[in-house]
Chains A and B, each alone.
Chain A
Amino acid sequence: MPVRSGSRRAWRVALLSVCALTLVACGGPPQPATSEPAAGGAGVTETNCGIPVTVPGPPERIYALYQPAIETVHALGLTDRLVGTAFLDARVLDGYAEAQSRVPYLPELPTREALLAANPDFVVAGYNGVFAAGGTEAISTRAELAGLGVRTWISGPLCPSGDGRSDEAIDPASVSMETVYGDLRGLGRVLGVPDRAEQLVTDLRTGVEAVRERVAGKPSPRVAILLDDDDGSYRVASGIDFGSRVLEMAGATNAFGDLAGRRHVAVGKEEVIARNPDVILTSTCCDASYTVADGAADVARIRGDPALSGSTAVREGKVFPFLFADRAAGIRAPAAAERVASLVHPR
């Protein structure tokens, strides 16, 4: 099952001259730094992943890459400012289906040319790979885009330690719901909608608290989030994947939570057998039409694997479909935690 890696190589340096024609505001004097949530967002600077992001005014042409970023922009009420969206892992949350149908959408990541052709002044990414210096998803580093007058933002819990880096450089301590809240507030200020962002944070807190209260004091089952690959091996979501936090909010623990270093770790079947998780969740991914029902095939493959036939999860029928999108750090977290809670602590 493919998850965010592929053949689509970004267009490289040759396009710089085209960029110069399509863009304005290159190399103006730096705006005075201020973190005051000024009304209208004029001259705001926020730090995102250690990089100062200064906007001269509220960005008007936003390009959102990946599910969390796309849904966040809708949630902030900025649908009309979206000039492009790309790469959904699953169907957008119910409340945003109509909004999403009104904006341009690419099922694959755009090339650098396609991204710049949409003439965005702000690119928000739900995953760090697009700003990596290399790799299958790289489009452009944040510094390169800043040089072209395009401001950028990465969902906070996926911050790499430096521009151009990716998953290998995530600080595990930053993978938390608090980071999501701080990230939303910063993004809200930059986009000129601080109140809306604050309200969103309050709503998310309320949602998460409701789930936490419901599962408080219950025994915490060990859950594995499995991606079954074409070569018969498995990859699991590690401790630095936000999925671990979703499990914890739902009163469960990640059976592979001690693994770190990468979000997905390829483990042998023996390791899955040895750790014998109580519950297995799939990580069904990568089509804008997917709902949790589309995980049935993944569930069937895991259940049909003779190597896992003796495991607690398979014997007790606790292999459930789950969406990759619901492992993401962002506004889906309360609903995702609620779904996990309903599976591991049924009412």
Chain B
Amino acid sequence: MASLAVLTGAAVLSLKVGGRPLSWAQLHDGLLGLSGTSSDIVVRHVRLPRTLAGLLAGCCLGLAGAIAQGLTRNPLAGPGTLGVNAGAAGAIIAGISLFGVGSLSGYVWFGLVGGALAAVAVYAVGGAGRDGATPVKLAMAGAAVSALILSATSAVVLLDRELFVRYRFWVIGSLARADLATVAQAVPFAVAGVVLAVVLVRRLDAVALGEDTGRSLGARPGATRVTGLVAVVALAGTATAVAGPVAFVGLVAPHAVRALAATAHRWVLPLSALLAAGLVLLADVAGRVVIAPEEVQIGVMAAIVGGPVFLHLVRVRRVAAL
């Protein structure tokens, strides 16, 4: 309930607060009327797309983070742990420098493919050896593959000044670029990710009991991990496509849910999605007002807002075991 309240509040704030204040009447007209006044345009072409993009990206980040944490049984995991972020960043840099991709809609596809390839690599490396892709080995493989891809990416980016500037805008994470077309384009991937998440709910609970117990309960750890990876790639890829690789939200939201509310995945997954979406929207709203008329990107605000909250959780509560 609290998550839902936070999210609703955040969504309303996201529509109401911005560079210039809007009255409730203007907001109502902007959403439902078609008069074409400047306040309507602000609502329709700036605030509504931003809010929807934030909702979508936030839900995806929360779900992806929760699944990644469940999959690796690591409370500090996120999409980044499985190499997805690094892969997406690397592929986008390759797209810009080798193929001259210039638009955000072009970045989307490179990001998804790169994230998927990195996840496959992580699974292949982590799956080597007798006992297969155990959670610990997956996390280790993710860290190794990420480090490899990121160092290569840095090498390329640091040698090319223009590339660096463009990469910088992409990598920081922002909703300013949001438009309804990109959001609509991303919805199918998000839906696919959500469907997989629903499939995963029970299996993740089994994984949480440990490999052997899970197996004895009829869970198939291998299938779960593959499904989970696909879900994380789809969800994190969608969020990245819409808002860039927003750091921290995917880590904090599920962690907070586990610490404050519930540990069963049928609660953790939906609550993480709601909370993460609320966080993303709040970060975006805060970014619009702190140094208005300038804006602070959401990636920066999420870290500033989320960091202390996370430290607080870690200090007061025991780290929720998985």
CA distance A227 to B112 in the complex (A): 29
Cα A267 to Cα B292 in complex, Å, equals: 8
Beyond A267-B294, A268-B18, whether A230 also contacts B169 by CB under 8 A is yes
Stretch at the interface among B37-45, B63-71, B125-133, B197-205: B37-45
Are the CB atoms of B165 and A231 closer together than 8 Å?
no
Closest to B295 in A: A268
Q: Is the CB of A266 within 8 A of B164?
A: no
Is B172 in the interface zone, CB < 8 Å from A? yes
Contact of A274 among B19, B40, B170, B172 (CB under 8 A): B19
Q: Nearest-CB distance from B31 to chain A (Å)? A: 16
A206 interfacial contact with B, CB 8 Å: no
Stretch of B140-148, B154-162, B212-220, B266-274 at the chain-chain interface = B154-162
Residue of A whose beta carbon sits closest to that of B47: A270
- The minimal Cβ–Cβ distance linking A308 to chain B, given in whole angstroms, is 8
CB under 8 Å from chain B, chain A span 96-130: 108
In the bound complex, CA of A233 to CA of B293 (Å):
12
- The answer to whether the Cβ of B177 comes within 8 Å of any Cβ in the partner chain is yes
Interface residues as binary, B161-179 with A (CB distance below 8 Å gives 1, 0 otherwise): 1111110011010101111
Of B38, B177, B244, which contacts A310 at CB under 8 A? B38
The answer to whether B258 has its CB under 8 Å from any CB of chain A is: no
| Contact of B46 with A273 in the complex, beta carbons under 8 Å | yes
**Chain A 252-287 interface 0/1 with B at a Cβ cutoff of 8 Å (1 = within):** 000000010000011111110110100000000010
> Is B226 on the interface with A (CB-CB < 8 A)?
no
Q: Does A306 lie within 8 Å of B179, measured CB to CB?
A: yes
* CB of B255 closer than 8 Å to a CB of A: no
Pairwise interchain contact A231-B169, C-beta atoms closer than 8 A: yes
Given known contacts A2-B165, A271-B19, A231 and B46 CB-to-CB distance under 8 angstroms: no
Q: Could you tell me which residues of chain B, from 235 to 260, have a CB within 8 Å of some CB in chain A?
A: 244
Question: In angstroms, how far is the closest chain B Cβ from the Cβ of A287?
Answer: 10
Tell me the bound Cα distance from A229 to B47 in angstroms. Answer: 19
B166 and A270: CB pair below 8 A?
no
The answer to whether B288 touches A268 (Cβ under 8 A) is yes
For the complex, is A17 an interface residue (Cβ under 8 Å from B)? no
Which range holds the interface residue count of chain B? 35 or more
Q: Are B161 and A6 in contact (CB under 8 A)?
A: yes
Asked if B38 contacts A231 (CB within 8 A), the reply is no
A12 interfacial by beta-carbon distance below 8 Å: no
Query: B222 at the A/B interface (Cβ < 8 Å)?
Result: no
Indicate if A342 sits at the interface (CB-CB under 8 A).
no
A311–B45 Cα distance when bound, in Å, is 12
B42 contacts A270, C-beta separation under 8 Å: yes
B104 at the interface (CB under 8 A from A): yes
Chain A residue nearest in CB terms to B177: A232
Do B162 and A2 touch across chains, with their CB atoms under 8 A apart? yes
Give the residue name and chain of the B residue nearest to A259 (CB). B293
> CA of A9 to CA of B297 in the docked complex: distance in angstroms?
24
By the criterion CB–CB under 8 Å, are B295 and A2 in contact?
no
What's the least CB distance linking A346 to chain B, in Å?
Answer: 26
For A231, what are the chain B residues with a Cβ–Cβ distance below 8 Å?
A: 169-170, 172, 174, 176-177, 244, 297
B188 within 8 A of partner (CB): no
Closest to B170 in A: A230
B178 touches A232 (CB 8 A): yes
Q: Which residues of the partner chain B approach A307 to less than 8 Å between Cβ atoms? A: 41-42, 45-46
Beyond A5-B165, A231-B170, A233-B176, is A267–B46 a contact (Cβ under 8 Å)?
Answer: no
A8 to B158, CA, bound (A): 7
Given contacts A268-B19, A270-B42, contact A233 B295 (CB under 8 A): yes
- Are B20 and A270 closer than 8 Å at their CB atoms? yes
Separation of A309 and B179 alpha carbons in the complex (Å): 13
Q: Does B36 contact A (CB under 8 A)?
A: yes
Q: Which of A1-58 contact B (CB under 8 A)?
A: 2, 5-9
Near B by CB (< 8 A), chain A positions 282-309 give: 286, 306-307, 309
| Contacting residues, chain B, for A310 (C-beta < 8 A) | 36-38, 40-41
- CB-based nearest B residue for A137: B161
User: Do the beta carbons of A268 and B293 come within 8 Å of each other?
Assistant: yes
| A229-B169 CB under 8 A given contacts A270-B42, A271-B293, A309-B41 | yes
Instruction: Given A231-B176, A306-B44, A307-B41, output 14 extra A-B contacts at Cβ < 8 Å.
Output: A6-B164, A230-B104, A231-B170, A232-B176, A268-B46, A268-B288, A270-B18, A270-B42, A271-B20, A274-B19, A276-B38, A306-B45, A307-B45, A310-B40
Please list 23 pairs of residues, one from A and one from B, whose beta carbons are closer than 8 Å in the complex, sorted by A's number: A2-B165, A2-B166, A7-B158, A8-B161, A231-B170, A231-B244, A231-B297, A233-B176, A259-B293, A267-B294, A267-B295, A268-B46, A270-B19, A270-B20, A271-B19, A271-B293, A273-B38, A273-B42, A274-B19, A274-B20, A276-B38, A307-B46, A310-B41
Closest 5 CB pairs of A and B: A232-B177, A6-B161, A2-B165, A270-B19, A7-B164
